[in-house]
Structure 1
């Protein structure tokens, strides 16, 4: 096959199990040298699709080709020379050592009477080295942690020397450190020419590591393409029936999905409450997305024209107080901010840098009935207004609850939804709030 031809092609692929249709007319191509993530809700057909591709599950209709070969017309050994699979379950029924386990990957390349060749040994040693498992090659598999066993199974798959690597939920049951290590390894292997397809339940990990995503729901393909084109709010609502907001991660730049609680609005569609946000320099963009998506009526300002937060607010259709680029917050803008603070049920002050030009925003926020103060960096590191800035910030800290960025939505919800207006823990001091602040009422888990 030409290198320009897709490595995988499924045509009208359908699978029925127990009289139930699991996959229904899946048409899919996967280019060589790419990392493709399969995403979708439980029962969408991700694992079934992997099994159909590796030949272990026969389709009721349609065709699967790998490198131009009809997988279901090949012998098991011939298929295993094209595709290697890393299962979700890392537990093994035998108690072999790591090197013996990895050597099993050479089975498709050996005849029944053939002996062990030099090429087999070099493939095993390369797989151990590539997965950084050489250091415990002589230990039994049962003695390893879940993350280490995952690497051993990837090493076994690499020893098969196939062009295609399939992984079924490779990060399931792993801590975040091993999740990242596993996907970094797969990403490196793809960079070296391997093609990988993985079912991944964490949308944000999938968006960060995969070249393309395939969104499945109800056994059908909902969307395919780069993460930014697949992970849209409309697609997530259709596939997961989820209220989610999609943005760019401020550090990695990857598409970032945050799942929200159901919008709790009145029968007439009224908002959950008014929230004014003090931001600037992009510090408030994420909060604007989340609060707006959660059903709050949001205003923001004062901001300079051209500021990242200004552009975000405009894209969301939010009420925005602005001043000219590089201009300070003048009397007129300060009065407009004060009006919005007075009308708000809660004010959120983002982790902004403060100078003499925007000090008026902090002073206006001090009059808020309920105040949420976002603190990711010590204020001293972002205070360019001297003692006046320190004084204004201390006033906010004495009255408000201090939270991290990921806790903003829960904190606002506590105040406005806890017992009507003014609910939650507004009467307690900051130390008490920190002691028992929880994530109830929101979710940043995207393992839909």
Structure 2
């Protein structure tokens, strides 16, 4: 083991973390097998994969807690398993998924526990340590209840306290095991926004994240583990491919772009071994239906869409999926032949889906055509008044479609279409 007083230099140009041909056994089971991965300085890397894939084991191995049967892990060019516990803790701080804190320690004292790797055997806390604790509590917004017992804080607050403890440790690498587990969506976003800020300040972060869409939105790269093996590493858009997700999770999923954030977005679908019976026509445009087209197509429905103007991003998606599309020239109003074709598609469809599209004089005929549908599903994400530029006629038509159809948000689209078909 290395001496506890050895330098904490990070080895110059080495990767922040290098996992080299690592195999880890727990009892008779090989939990990790021949894993190779690198994480560069200042990256936020998400560790994703199904339950039991080995994510926690990999984090504990990188932290130096578990020793590999073969291979090695270096942090800043130094083998963490050749270091003492204190020396490794000066390089790597961890926030475990579950921590037993049953004693009534004050929050400030829990955060101060992160300074242990920097204390000498007989020395107390110095000013640098006190400043580090205060800064960590301020950064994570736990200073306001610093004197409260840790047993008296909420789950979301406790997660921030544990993160503050890791920050007080002042290590260049931060490992998080499911930091958003058991948190509501508001606290999930706040936690990952804080982590994102830490990365912007120079920290290197690896986090096991259960939610693939949160991981895709916040992480620079993803590591996908399955059954103890590294399946893929790279940008979220490359790792979260439908074929890869099928192999790793045994799941039927559609991968698209989120309509608001533009990040990679994964939607899990129920298993449908046979094509769905039923034809669906989709009315949209301006980027409002790309995700809906992916969902409906992957679910096995026969899908048509239009009228869409040339150059519309929804048109590119429809052509990629090989769907029937009614088109019009760029910026041209819907008229003549295109109007007749879309009316025929609506009549032939079992259900027409009206997306959360902006309506003006040019595409008002799309709204009018939907009135001929046998069944209508209206996808509403924004009030129609905010996207109506065609006046009272459009408002009256939209109200009629809502009254005789089913109004849903995009997450409930498939269930509504299935009911209608």
User: What residue number does 2:85 align with?
Assistant: 76
Distance 1:369 1:385 in 2: 24
Match of 2:134 among 78, 102, 125: 125
Distance 2:163 2:234 in 1: 26
Match of 2:254 among 245, 248, 252: 245
Aligned-residue offset at 1:72: 1.2
User: What residue number does 1:165 align with?
Assistant: 174
Distance 1:281 1:70 in 2: 52
Aligned-residue offset at 1:343: 1.8
Contact 2:259 2:288 (8 Å CA) reproduced: no
Contact 2:11 2:77 (8 Å CA) reproduced: no
1:26-81 CA distance string (max 9 Å, x none)? 01111111111100000110000001111111111111111221111211121111
Map 1:102-251 → 2, pairs under 5 A: 102-251=111-260
- When residues 178 and 395 of structure 1 are mapped into structure 2, their CA distance, relative to the original with a 3 A threshold, is closer
Greater shift after overlay, 149-158 or 110-119?
110-119
User: What residue number does 1:293 align with?
Assistant: 298
Alignment of 1:321 with 2:330, yes or no, is no
Q: Which runs of 5+ in 1 are unaligned?
A: 417-448
Aligned-residue offset at 1:2: 4.9
User: What residue number does 1:360 align with?
Assistant: 365
Contact 2:102 2:151 (8 Å CA) reproduced: no
Alignment of 1:30 with 2:12, yes or no, is no
Match of 2:403 among 387, 392, 398: 398
Contact 1:306 1:325 (8 Å CA) reproduced: yes
- When residues 385 and 131 of structure 1 are mapped into structure 2, their CA distance, relative to the original with a 3 A threshold, is closer
1:346-397 CA distance string (max 9 Å, x none)? 1101122223322222222212121111222333333333333234323322
1:258-316 CA distance string (max 9 Å, x none)? 11111252xxxx44321010111112122111111111110001111111211111111
1:172-228 CA distance string (max 9 Å, x none)? 001111111111111111111111111000111111111111011111111111111
Distance 1:153 1:211 in 2: 23
Secondary structure of 1:283's counterpart equals coil
Aligned-residue offset at 1:399: 2.1
User: What residue number does 2:7 align with?
Assistant: none
Match of 1:55 among 29, 47, 64: 64
Contact 1:264 1:295 (8 Å CA) reproduced: no
Contact 2:45 2:219 (8 Å CA) reproduced: yes
TM-score normalized by the length of structure 2? 0.94
Distance 2:29 2:15 in 1: 30
Distance 1:29 1:20 in 2: 24
Distance 1:25 1:230 in 2: 19
Q: CA RMSD in A?
A: 1.5
Secondary structure of 2:59's counterpart equals helix
1:127-167 CA distance string (max 9 Å, x none)? 22222211111111001011111111111111111111111
Secondary structure of 1:186's counterpart equals helix
Alignment of 1:307 with 2:315, yes or no, is no
Aligned-residue offset at 1:330: 1.8
Contact 1:302 1:322 (8 Å CA) reproduced: yes
Distance 1:403 1:328 in 2: 28
Q: Which runs of 5+ in 2 are unaligned?
A: 1-9
How many residue pairs match? The answer is 412
1:4-38 CA distance string (max 9 Å, x none)? 32011111100111211110000111111111110
Distance 2:386 2:57 in 1: 52
Aligned-residue offset at 1:120: 1.9
Aligned-residue offset at 1:168: 0.5
Map 1:238-277 → 2, pairs under 5 A: 238-265=247-274, 270-277=275-282
User: What residue number does 1:424 align with?
Assistant: none
Contact 1:8 1:64 (8 Å CA) reproduced: yes
